Amino acid sequence: LPHQLHSYETLSAIARVTFGVDRSQFPLQIRPNVCLVGPSGVGKTHLAGAIGQQMDDVKTYYVNVSTWLVMGSSHKAALTWPRIQQFLESCRNSQGAIIIVDEIDKIGDPTSWTTYLRSEVFDLLDWRIPRNLEDTDGAAIAESSIAAAEEVLRTKTMIIGVGAFQRIWDSESKESIGFLPGVSKPRIPDANDLSGTLPRELSNRFGSNIIAIPPLARADYDKILESILARMPTYWRERYATVVRDRIDDAVRQALGTRFFEEALMQTLVRERQEIASFRPETLPSKGSESHPNVCGDVEQGIG
């Protein structure tokens, strides 16, 4: 999508360096950790996943900070670090690995749980795997397996942190409100902005690799609608366009993002079903006219 293009090109360049350059020739470690920042609904996680699909023989692993299970947890589900270790070890013969850490801004929440969580995320960003790991059966993972996974992490892994940092964008939005509000380009947050939300020791680990996707402008909404209508079944096209155009100004003003288009599709389907339910027999289409399609069968899923 247009609003993602610059961010995608930057991410792609970092990925090509990560997986296409022999790091052993340099006296220093390169740091391919990236923080992808943007308000809710601009497609951050989708964009991060697309980078993995672009790279040949590169595997992708997804973990969400909100569901990260720290070591020592009594939860019956598998802890997060052993699963990361197993994923990395499975990438030994691959070109590389991408680990997406979603909702990384949640790590700044002031709770006792995040104290343990930060330590484990710091280890990941510093290419260290904790020892004394156990598999899902409770058996100790061999030191040789941990070392093999750590080598993959250190030499051919790209870590993409993804976060909304919504307070930053909300602050920018409030500052732009006035008697005669105009269209202004939002300021892209930098490391100093992030330090107000994240612990400094975490934002420092991303350094200058902070990539921001700005909120969608009206032109972006129009482009997305054009793309969707080109793929929408004929019967639904005008119905969907009507719903979107009735609400699009509110969507821009409220910064609803791409989810707005999915909500509009649901509203379109509900409205059409309600119209059918209110038909009187004499208003039904005559024989030979276009029949109503099957909702489940004819509507494409998602917005691509």
Q: What is the pLDDT of residues 222-243, one digit of tens each?
A: 999 999 999 999 999 999 999 9
For the chain, give every residue range classified as CATH 3.40.50.300. 2-212
Predicted confidence band at 196 (pLDDT cuts at 50, 70, 90)?
A: low
pLDDT at 264: 97
pLDDT at 102: 95
Residue with tokens 């497609």: 43
pLDDT at 112: 67
Q: What is the pTM assigned to this prediction?
A: 0.79
pLDDT at 282: 58
Ranges of beta strands (E only) in 143-209 are 157-163
Percent of the chain with pLDDT over 90: 46
pLDDT at 292 over 70: no
Which helix (DSSP H) or strand (DSSP E) does residue 255 occupy? Answer: none
pLDDT at 286: 57
Predicted confidence band at 179 (pLDDT cuts at 50, 70, 90)?
A: very low
Average pLDDT over the chain, rounded to an integer:
83
Q: Are the C-beta atoms of 65 and 101 separated by less than 8 Å?
A: yes
Q: Are the C-beta atoms of 91 and 130 separated by less than 8 Å?
A: no
Predicted confidence band at 300 (pLDDT cuts at 50, 70, 90)?
A: very low
pLDDT at 294 over 60: no
Predicted confidence band at 12 (pLDDT cuts at 50, 70, 90)?
A: very high
pLDDT at 176 over 80: no
pLDDT at 18 over 60: yes
Average pLDDT for 31-46: 89
pLDDT at 182 over 50: no
Return all residues near 32 (Cβ < 8 A) that are at least 6 apart: 14, 15, 17, 18, 157, 158, 159, 209
Please report, for the chain, how many H helices and E strands are present, in that order. 12, 5
pLDDT at 186: 56
pLDDT at 3 over 50: yes
Give phi and psi for 106, each to the nearest 5.
-70, -15
Higher-confidence residue of 287 and 89: namely 89
CA proximity to 118, closest of 164, 157, 71: 71
pLDDT in tens, 250-274: 999 888 888 999 999 999 999 999 8
User: What is the third-level CATH fold of 2-212?
Assistant: Rossmann fold (3.40.50)
Q: Are the C-beta atoms of 184 and 176 separated by less than 8 Å?
A: yes
Q: Are the C-beta atoms of 121 and 63 separated by less than 8 Å?
A: no
Helix (H, G, I), strand (E, B) or coil at 74: coil
pLDDT at 297 over 50: no
Average pLDDT for 58-72: 91
CA–CA dist 288, 125 (Å, integer)? 64
Lowest mean pLDDT across 70-79, 110-119, 161-170, 275-284: 275-284
CA proximity to 87, closest of 137, 114, 124: 124
pLDDT at 160: 96
Q: Are the C-beta atoms of 253 and 36 separated by less than 8 Å?
A: no
Return all residues near 240 (Cβ < 8 A) that are at least 6 apart: 228, 229, 232, 264, 265, 268
